[in-house]
């Protein structure tokens, strides 16, 4: 499916690596102007080299004050992809305050903060918008050693619905994309046990995990007018996992 985002400005968080990086590239190739927000400066430098014109913003989204400062004057944004997250592994009985707080702050609180900044701008300008929150199939099912992460994604489901409810009258749509495992840096780090990963893949009806491209395609669909009547909802890119 071809998308044309000419004339629109998009903001993507977690743009330095993985799904966020490929989302920036796809939006850039489809004509959007893109603000790329991430934490590692070198990633943003190389991304700007690959996609001339991309506007880099280097900030730790887990830091409320720094984020407010970095994005306070970001300017007009029509499309938002809240993608940045951390998957910090700890068995439930060993979950620390630090890891739990960090997971919630980056994966959930920053989604609310960045969305507030962007949605206020859309409402002030009187323009429609689309926001896509990158969740996970782990919003619905637990996974070993990822309690904090699963909680952040579970809560993102309700945050997405709450945003859809209140922003809908302003013609701002809000949805999630919920992938299964994707072999990015994050995906490779979720289990150190290759046998566990092999068995997990076999439990997917399609006998595979998701590719980055599959996730990006669903993001672009939800950002675009092709999904004009979809809000408060989600696309599961889970190779059928949740049917079992």
Residues recognised as catalytic = 149
SS (H, E, C) 171-224: CEEEEEEEECCECCHHHHCCCCCHHHHHHHHHCCCCCCCECHHHHHHHHHHHHC
One of 10, 11, 12, 14 touching ligand NDP (CB under 6 A)? 14
182 binds ligand NDP (CB under 6 A): yes
Closer Cβ to ligand NDP, 31 or 205, answer by number: 205
Of 13, 9, 18, residue with least CA distance to 215:
18
Beta strands 9-13 and 33-38: pairing type? parallel
Closer Cβ to ligand NDP, 141 or 228, answer by number: 141
**Where do the H-state alpha helices sit in 128-188?**
147-167, 185-188
One of 32, 61, 88, 223 touching ligand NDP (CB under 6 A)? 61
Structure tokens of 194? 């290759």
One of 16, 56, 121, 129 touching ligand NDP (CB under 6 A)? 16
Under rule CB under 6 A, which residues in 67-86 are in contact with ligand NDP?
83-86
40 binds ligand NDP (CB under 6 A): yes
Instruction: Give the whole-angstrom CA distance, residue 46 versus residue 40.
Output: 11
One of 8, 19, 216, 219 touching ligand NDP (CB under 6 A)? 19
Beta bridge partners of 235: 177
222 binds ligand NDP (CB under 6 A): no
Binding site for ligand NDP (CB under 6 A): 14, 16-20, 38-40, 43, 60-62, 83-86, 106, 134, 136, 179, 181-182, 184-187
């Amino acid at each position: 499916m071809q998308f044309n985002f000419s004339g629109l400005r998009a903001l993507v968080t977690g743009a330095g690596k993985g799904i966020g990086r490929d989302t920036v590239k796809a939006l850039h190739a489809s004509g959007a102007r893109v603000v790329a927000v991430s934490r590692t400066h070198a990633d943003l430098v190389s991304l700007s080299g690959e996609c001339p014109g991309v506007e880099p913003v280097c900030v730790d989204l887990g830091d409320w004050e720094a984020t407010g400062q970095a994005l306070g004057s970001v300017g007009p944004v029509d499309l938002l992809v809240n993608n940045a997250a951390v998957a910090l592994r700890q068995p439930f009985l060993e979950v620390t305050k630090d890891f739990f707080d960090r997971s919630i702050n980056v994966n959930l609180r920053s989604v609310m903060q960045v969305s507030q900044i962007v949605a206020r701008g859309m409402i002030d300008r009187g323009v429609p918008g689309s926001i896509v929150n990158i969740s996970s199939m782990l919003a619905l099912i637990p996974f070993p050693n990822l309690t904090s992460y699963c909680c952040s994604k579970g809560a993102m489901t309700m945050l997405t619905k709450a945003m859809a409810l209140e922003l809908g009258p302003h013609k701002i749509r809000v949805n999630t994309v919920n992938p299964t495992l994707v072999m990015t840096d994050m995906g490779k780090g979720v289990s150190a046990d290759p046998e566990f990963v092999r068995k997990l893949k076999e439990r997917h009806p399609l006998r595979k995990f998701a590719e980055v491209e599959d996730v990006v395609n669903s993001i672009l669909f939800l950002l675009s007018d092709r999904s004009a009547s979809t809000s408060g909802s989600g696309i599961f890119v889970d190779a059928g996992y949740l049917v079992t």
